[in-house]
């Protein structure tokens, strides 16, 4: 009986872990961080994955 309970507990734990990982992956896909940079003398907003050495990042405080 104890082995059955441990086995069921393991299955439930694995299921919850899998669902949580899927939810985190979906949230990461939805999140698209961007950065305001000074590049070639112009201020532009680009995807943060496209930052390169030499970009000057413009920081500002936004109150929402």
Q: What is the mean pLDDT for each group of 10 consecutive residues in the chain (64 residues)?
A: 96 97 90 88 90 91 70
- Asked if 56 and 37 count as a contact pair (C-beta separation under 8 A), the reply is yes
3 state DSSP class of 57: strand
Predicted model pTM: 0.49
- Asked if 4 and 28 count as a contact pair (C-beta separation under 8 A), the reply is no
Question: What is the pLDDT, as a whole number, of residue 56?
Answer: 94
């Amino acid at each position: 009986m104890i082995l059955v309970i441990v086995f069921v507990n393991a299955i439930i734990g694995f299921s919850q872990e899998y669902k949580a990982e899927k939810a985190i992956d979906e949230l990461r896909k939805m999140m698209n961080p961007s950065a305001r940079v000074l590049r070639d003398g112009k201020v532009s907003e680009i995807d943060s994955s496209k930052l390169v050495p030499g970009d000057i990042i413009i920081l500002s405080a936004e109150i929402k």
